[in-house]
Structure formats: structure tokens, C-alpha cells
Amino acid sequence: MQILTTPFFGIFLSLIVYLAGQWLFKKSHGLFFFQPLFVAMVLGITILVVLAKFLGQDVANLYNTAYRPGGDIIFWFLNPATIAFAVPLYKRNDVVKKYWAEILSGLLFGTVISLFAIVGVSKLLGLNRIGIASMLPQAATTAIALPISKAIGGNSAITAMACILNAVIIYALGSWLVRRFHLDSDPIGEGLGLGTAGHTVGSAFALKLGSVQGSMAAIAVVIIGAVVDLVVPLFSHLVL
């Protein structure tokens, strides 16, 4: 199967499963379960698992040799896409200038409180120390979370899974969560929350809700990265 070793396969598979997700989402009139990113993820993994069985290969091996060359090309474009969030941020500079102290304190204290809650939930559900350490850096984007996770004795594969699922969950359940917990009454907190919990994808979601939400989510991605860099190693040293 020569076609499986060129980047074409990864790009093609990503496109097909995402388009299938968009189609299902439209057909179901926006049912959250058929959110395109979620459908694409489940469908893509299923196809790889079935294909691996069919070819008698290991799934991880097939993923690395067949999907990854193309997948990495698409993934790379997240770099300029993250930079692009400077534009919505700049457009709402007025909010940043007026509320910078509240934004900073909200993110700092919000992260510390969340860390305690995450440790509590992890212990309640019976995760071991490695599992808990892997959960702590998840508020940051993957590039920050993975090295921090390693440094505090976590498993970076679990942390990567957390960062990815965060984004998928926020994209799929964001509108329900916003409605259920009445977050829309305060666009600044709403945006910061979506950026913290959903990273870059959460920021794109927040931008759909409004320009204030989008700019706040973008600033949250930047500041939460620094907060996680500084707070999580100290926190894990003191609490774990």
C-alpha cells in the first residue's frame, strides 16, 4: 500500500472525517454529539483501528507511519493560527486596558483554585500519583503542559490526552455549558474561562460568541501558559 506512506493519506483522511462531521452536524441541526471535531476524532481513530486490523498492524504503528506524515502538515498550521489570535485581542484593546488587573487576578486565583479541585477529583476517582501529576498542567497548551508534566513526574501521554480532550469537550459542549451555568452574563469571565479550559480551540469558540469573549480567551491562553509554568511545579512540590 504505497499510498499509505505519503502525506496524502493523512491529509485526505482528516478532510474526509471532518467533512463527514460537518455534514452530520448540519443534518442533526447542531446536535452536540455530532460536533465536527468530535466526529472527526472518533471516526478517524475508528478507521485507523479497522485498517490496522485489516493490515495486521499495530494501531500506534499504523498511526505513525501512515497518518502522521499528513496529519503533521495540517497540525503545523496551528502555529500561525495561534499567532492570528493577536488580531482579535488587539481589536478589543479597550477591554484589556480597562480590566487588566481583574483579568490577571482572575486567571491566577482561578488556576490555583482549579488545581486544588482537580487534585480532589483525581483522588476521589482513584488516580495514582502519576495520574494526578499528569492532570495538573492541562490548563496550558500542549507545548507548555508536556515538559511541565514530565518535570513533576507525570505521564506526558496522559497530559497530551487531557489537553486535546479539553479542547474537544469545550468545542462540543461549550454552548451547553455556557447556557447551563449562565456564563454569558459576564463576557470577560466567559472568554477567560473558555480560553483556559479549551486553549486555542476554546478561543476560536469564544470568538464566535463575541469579540470580547474572543479577545479574553486569547489573552487567557498566553497568561495561563505563564501561570502554569510558574505555579504548577511549586504546587505539585507542596501538595503532592
Partner 1 sequence: MSQQNKNATTKKTKPAPFLVQMGIYASILFVSNIISSLVPASFPVPAPVIGMLLLYSLLSLHILKIEWVDSFGAILINLIGFLFVPSGISLAANLDIMRAEGVQIVAVIMISTVILLLVTAYTTRFFIWLKKKHPARSKKTKVSKGVPVRALSHVKGEN
Instruction: Yes or no: say if 188 and 173 are a contact pair by the CB < 8 Å rule.
Output: no
Return the residues of window 171-210 that contact partner 1 according to CB under 8 A. Answer: 171, 177, 181, 183, 186, 188-190, 192-194, 196-198, 200-201, 203-204, 207
Separation CA 27–CA 36 (nearest Å)? 12
27/181 with CB nearer partner 1 = 181
Nearer to partner 1 by Cβ, of 27 and 143: the residue is 143
35, 171 Cβ separation under 8 angstroms: yes
Which positions from 107 through 136 interact with partner 1, judged by CB under 8 A?
107, 109-111, 113-114, 117-118, 121-122, 125-127, 131, 135
Give the interface segment with partner 1, choosing from 1-9, 26-34, 167-175 (CB under 8 A): 167-175
Give the binding range for partner 1 (CB under 8 A) out of 1-9, 26-34, 169-177. Answer: 169-177
What cell does 109 get?
486565583
Residue 33: CA atoms inside 13 Å, Cβ hemisphere, count? 2
- What distances in angstroms separate CA 129 from CA 28, 110, 132, 133, 175, one per listed residue? 42, 23, 5, 6, 33
Does residue 212 touch partner 1 according to CB under 8 A? no
- Binders of partner 1 in range 28-57 (CB under 8 A): 36-38, 40-41, 44-45, 48-49
